[in-house]
Amino acid sequence: MPAIISVSEAIPPFEISQDHVSAFAKELFTDSFKDIERLLKAFQNGKIQKRHFVKNMEWFKVDHSFEEKNKAYIEAAVMLGKEAIVKCLHNASFLKVPISYNEIDAIFFISTTGISTPSIDARIMNELAFNPHTKRVPIWGLGCAGGAAGLSRAYEYCLAFPKAKVIVLSVELCSLTFQRNDLSKSNLIGTSLFADGVACALICGDDSGRENFSRKATSPSILATQSTLMENSLDVMGWEIRNSGLFVIFSRDIPHIIEGWLKPNVLSFLAKHQIELDQINHFIAHPGGKKVLDAYVKSLGIPSSMNEVSLEVLQQYGNMSSATIFYVLRRYLEMEIPENALGLGTALGPGFSSELLLLRWN
């Protein structure tokens, strides 16, 4: 089965503490909410310690047009996306030898936080020596679920083309969507949670010769995937597009929705492959937030220890939308996981939707 061989991260340049962002939010939102001190507890209760942005905090204190934000998105996406690809294909922790760019059959590009035509992958191909016939598959609009969905589409590609080596590049610059004049609770919560992150994963088919270049004793193969859309849930999560840019839609009911909806979805997925939930050894979860991680535990009845890696990523990086699951996945790739161990990858996004991946270390 297609396997995930290497994962890399490109960290945006400005590290911002949660206390610094909380002070900024207090200054911005105080006149809008009489209970601002209670609302600001979200910054501490979310357990995030720091995040990384492509701009410093001074940049967010003045208004920027949609055009200006999007130009900043394109510039940073190309720079950091290129860095993530280079790191992924030259990663000595996961690869015995580097993979050349012209060996890559397809690029799946994932993003929801900016717009670019030609797409970011095309721009990067003008700076790295990819084969001009490399297939490009830009995927926009899946939000936090996009990283897991990108892995799923790469898996299907490698099933169809077993000799293929493909990369999934996720670029999410959530900070550039910040609306300084949106004094809603959704924007306040988004300000406490979202961050910038870029990551790249290498997925290889069965006949790609991966035994010759994969360094790890075991790597996670993707056994199966499942995409699920909840009916009539368009207002749960997403963007409202206005003249000044992207305004966050973020329902307070998301943890409650997860508690009631996720478990039947997961159990039906595992049952198709004759696997019980208690056979899953590793839970590779997109950490949408502390309440989302708690909802996973409550819904699935798993021990909270299975969320430790996801929580650590949330604490150090915040919610980087689709890129976050790659940060979690990289930490699992660094572990010495025994053969035949099973993992479940999960991410939730706009739609409202779920992406699931069943993994086995081989």
Residues belonging to the active site: 144
Helix (H) or strand (E) segment spanning residue 259? helix 254-271
Q: How far apart are CA 353 and CA 60, in angstroms?
A: 31
**Hey, is 191 helix, strand or coil?**
helix
> In 3D, which of 49, 84, 79, 7 has the Cα closest to residue 327?
7
Q: Which residues contact 332 (CB under 8 A, 6 or more apart)?
A: 220, 282, 284, 309, 343
What is the number of other CB atoms lying within 10 angstroms of the CB of residue 253? 11
Q: How far apart are CA 208 and CA 165, in angstroms?
A: 7
For 293, phi and psi rounded to 5 degrees?
-65, -40
**Hey, is 31 helix, strand or coil?**
coil
CB 50, CB 195: distance < 8 Å: no
Cα–Cα distances (Å) from 343 to 204, 229, 276, in that order, read 18, 22, 12
Q: How far apart are CA 67 and CA 244, in angstroms?
A: 8
Chain CA centroid to CA 102, Å? 26
> In 3D, which of 336, 316, 354, 299 has the Cα closest to residue 144?
354
Q: Convert 155-192 to b/e letters by CB count within 10 Å (16 or more is b).
A: bebbeebeebbbbbbbbbbbbbbbbeebebebbbbbbb
Q: How far apart are CA 354 and CA 361, in angstroms?
A: 23
